[in-house]
Amino acid sequence: MWTTSGEPPRAGFVVGRRVGKAVVRNRVRRRLREQVRARLDRLPPGTMVVVRALPEAASASSERLGQALDDAIARALRARPAADGRGSDGRGDGARAQPARPARLVVGSGR
């Protein structure tokens, strides 16, 4: 997750060939896009999110995709650096704020 100026939140999707053939990848992308669309209002303005689908996403229910997305967004928001240059732990050690580490959207068996 990355935050820029006051633009509306945006999302991008990465659905590789390991997820399945083109029809399956497009179906997964459409299902993820709908799940993200319902959650964009929870993100701060200017947020850019990249959602990477794992192969398990092809067989996951929409409810499971939504739950995994909720978990990943919550982790990313907790890890997001503060606007004043301090990390999420509140220490002001003088280091520049770094973008939050990406939260993995894991669906299916533990990988």
Question: For residues 71 and 74, what is the distance between their CA atoms, to the nearest angstrom?
Answer: 5
**Residue with structure tokens 């053939």?**
21
Query: At a CB cut-off of 8 Å and minimum separation 6, what does 8 contact?
Result: 40, 45, 46
Q: For the domain that residue 14 is a member of, what is the CATH number? A: 3.30.230.10
The token pair that represents 107 in the structure block: 């669906």
Q: How far apart are the first and last CA of the chain?
A: 21
Residue 14, domain member (yes or no): yes
Domain count for the chain, please give it: 1
Domain that residue 27 falls in? 9-79
pTM above 0.75, yes or no: no
**pLDDT confidence tier of residue 107, bands split at 50, 70 and 90:** low
Residue 32, domain member (yes or no): yes
Question: For residues 6 and 82, what is the distance between their CA atoms, to the nearest angstrom?
Answer: 16
Render pLDDT for 21-74 as a digit per residue (tens, 0 to 9). 999 999 999 999 999 999 999 988 888 999 999 999 999 999 999 999 999 999
Burial 15-52 (b: 16+ CB within 10 A, else e): beeebbeeebbeebbebbeebbeeeeeebeeebebebb
